[in-house]
Amino acid sequence: MSNVPTDRQYLSSHEWAQQVEGVVVVGISEHAAEELGELVFIELPAKGDEVVFETQFGEIESVKAVSGLNSPVTGKVVEVNQELIDSQAAISDSPFEDGWLIKVEPAIDSGLDLLLDHKTYQAQLDGS
Amino acid sequence: MKKTVLNAAHQRHGARLVEFGGFEMPVWYSGLTEEHHAVRQRAGVFDLCHMGRFEIVGDDPVAALDRVVTQDVSRMKKGQVRYSLVCNDEGGVLDDILIYRLPDRLWLVVNAGNRQKLLHWFGERLVGAKVIDHSEDLAMVALQGPLACSLLAPHIDRAHHRAVADLGYYRISRAQVKLTGTPIDGWISRTGYTGEDGFELYIPSGSAESVFDALLDLSDEVIPCGLGCRDTLRLEAGMPLYGHELSEQQDPIGAGLSFGVSLDKEGGFIGEPALREVVARGPRRQLRGFVVEGKRPARQGAVILHDSRPVGVVTSGSPSPTLGVPIACGYVDSSVSEEAPLEVDLRGKSAPLSPHPLPFYRRTAETAHSE
Which chain B residue shows the shortest CA-CA distance from A65? B299
What are A24-64's pLDDT values in tens digits? 999 999 999 999 999 999 999 999 999 999 999 999 999 98
Q: What single DSSP character describes residue B45?
A: E
Task: State whether residue B77 is helix, strand or coil.
Answer: coil
Angle between helices B227-236 and B32-41 (to 10 degrees): 50
User: What pLDDT sits at residue B250?
Assistant: 98
Which residues in chain A touch residue B300, judged by CB atoms under 8 angstroms apart? none
User: Whats the size of chain A, residue-wise?
Assistant: 128
Nearest-CA distance from A4 to chain B in Å? Answer: 20
Asked if A87 has any chain B CB less than 8 Å from its own CB, the reply is no
Give the other-Cβ count within 10 Å of B287's Cβ: 22
pLDDT < 50 positions in chain B: 367-371
Which residues in chain A touch residue B297, judged by CB atoms under 8 angstroms apart? 40-41, 61
Exposure b/e, B187-202, CB count within 10 A at least 16 = b: bbbbbbbbbbbbbbbb
Nearest-CA distance from B77 to chain A in Å? Answer: 39
User: What pLDDT sits at residue B159?
Assistant: 84
**Domains of chain A (ranges, CATH numbers):** 9-121 (2.40.50.100)
Residue A128 has pLDDT above 70, yes or no: no
What are B332-356's pLDDT values in tens digits? 999 999 999 999 999 899 999 999 9
Asked if A41 has any chain B CB less than 8 Å from its own CB, the reply is yes
Chain centre distance of CA B230: 9
Measured between alpha carbons, how far is B348 from B364 in angstroms, rounded to an integer? 39
Asked if A59 has any chain B CB less than 8 Å from its own CB, the reply is yes
Which chain B residue shows the shortest CA-CA distance from A60? B296
User: What pLDDT sits at residue B367?
Assistant: 47
Task: Mark yes or no for CB contact B299/A63 under 8 Å.
Answer: no
Stretch A4-25: mean pLDDT:
97
- pLDDT-derived band at A65, boundaries 50, 70, 90: confident
Task: Mark yes or no for CB contact B228/A37 under 8 Å.
Answer: yes
CB B238 within 8 A of CB B359: yes
Residues ≥6 apart with Cβ < 8 Å to B242: B93, B95, B96, B111, B113, B114
B90 — phi, psi (to 5°)? Answer: -85, 0
Residues ≥6 apart with Cβ < 8 Å to B201: B140, B141, B142, B143, B175, B177, B186, B187, B188, B211
Asked if A85 has any chain B CB less than 8 Å from its own CB, the reply is no
Which chain A residue shows the shortest CA-CA distance from B346? A66
Measured between alpha carbons, how far is B232 from B235 in angstroms, rounded to an integer? 5
What are A69-107's pLDDT values in tens digits? 999 999 999 999 999 999 999 999 999 999 999 999 999
The ipTM is 0.82
User: What pLDDT sits at residue B357?
Assistant: 96
